[in-house]
């Protein structure tokens, strides 16, 4: 896969590596600061490069569906798309998935997705009232329910160990993904606009 080939796809190998590096930093920070339990959750870093490639593919499919040519993707859309691919590729894994004892274990990937998205938007996750806790739990549920079905051919190639250059994929946004993406975009738009949680 060459940078020149990916230019037709709008992203270079360097751009993918830089985005993957940033995601890895945020993921490690969640373990280092105790947001995620480092003794009960493992970070599978190779998945971060794959999910970054998946992000660019999903972003392209979304732009082809929803955004007029030449219109840059806004931060809220990028945050929503990244949250969805993080949840799909699951870079974190509980050491004992069946025996997860708390939310940080059971929803480690969704927490990573939300933390990354809120960081992009310059927002903080506050849990100072039961209503706010309920709001964020519902957002985690929405992220968990997203499946990035659009990326099915890309994921199938990964599973077969037969990856193709990203520019070879001509993906159409799946109807299920349209709903998930638009739901998260709407939520993140309200949050970034400063709308106070209930």
| Residue 124 forms part of a structural domain | yes
Span 155-175, pLDDT tens digits: 999 999 998 999 999 999 999
| Residue 197 forms part of a structural domain | no
pTM, entire model: 0.88
Q: What is the distance between the alpha carbons of residues 106 and 109, in angstroms, rounded to a whole number?
A: 8
| Residue 198 forms part of a structural domain | no
Domain ranges, residue 130: 3-192
- Domain tally, the chain: 1
Query: Are 112 and 91 within 8 A, CB to CB?
Result: yes
pLDDT band at 73 (very low <50, low <70, confident <90, very high): low
pLDDT of 6 strictly over 70? no
Span 171-193, pLDDT tens digits: 999 999 999 999 999 999 888 88
- pLDDT value for 17: 94
- Rg (the chain; Cα; Å): 17
Share of the chain above pLDDT 70, in %: 89
Q: What is the distance between the alpha carbons of residues 24 and 152, in angstroms, rounded to a whole number?
A: 24
| Residue 32 forms part of a structural domain | yes
| Residue 14 forms part of a structural domain | yes
| Residue 123 forms part of a structural domain | yes
């Amino acid at each position: 896969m060459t940078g020149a080939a990916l230019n037709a796809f709008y992203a270079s190998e360097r751009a993918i590596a830089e985005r993957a590096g940033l995601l890895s930093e945020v993921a490690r920070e969640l373990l280092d600061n105790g947001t995620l339990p480092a003794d009960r959750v493992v970070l599978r870093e190779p998945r971060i490069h794959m999910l970054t490639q998946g992000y660019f593919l999903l972003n392209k499919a979304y732009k082809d569906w929803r955004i007029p040519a030449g219109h840059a993707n806004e931060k809220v859309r990028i945050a929503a798309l990244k949250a969805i691919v993080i949840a799909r590729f699951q870079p974190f894994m509980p050491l004992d998935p069946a025996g997860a004892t708390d939310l940080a274990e059971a929803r480690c990937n969704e927490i990573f997705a939300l933390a990354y998205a809120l960081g992009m938007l310059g927002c903080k996750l506050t849990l100072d009232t039961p209503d706010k806790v309920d709001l964020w739990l519902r957002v985690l549920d929405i992220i968990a329910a997203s499946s990035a079905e659009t990326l099915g051919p890309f994921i199938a190639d990964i599973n077969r160990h037969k990856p193709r250059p990203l520019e070879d994929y001509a993906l159409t946004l799946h109807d299920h993904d349209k709903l998930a993406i638009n739901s998260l975009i709407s939520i993140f738009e309200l949050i970034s606009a400063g709308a106070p949680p209930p």
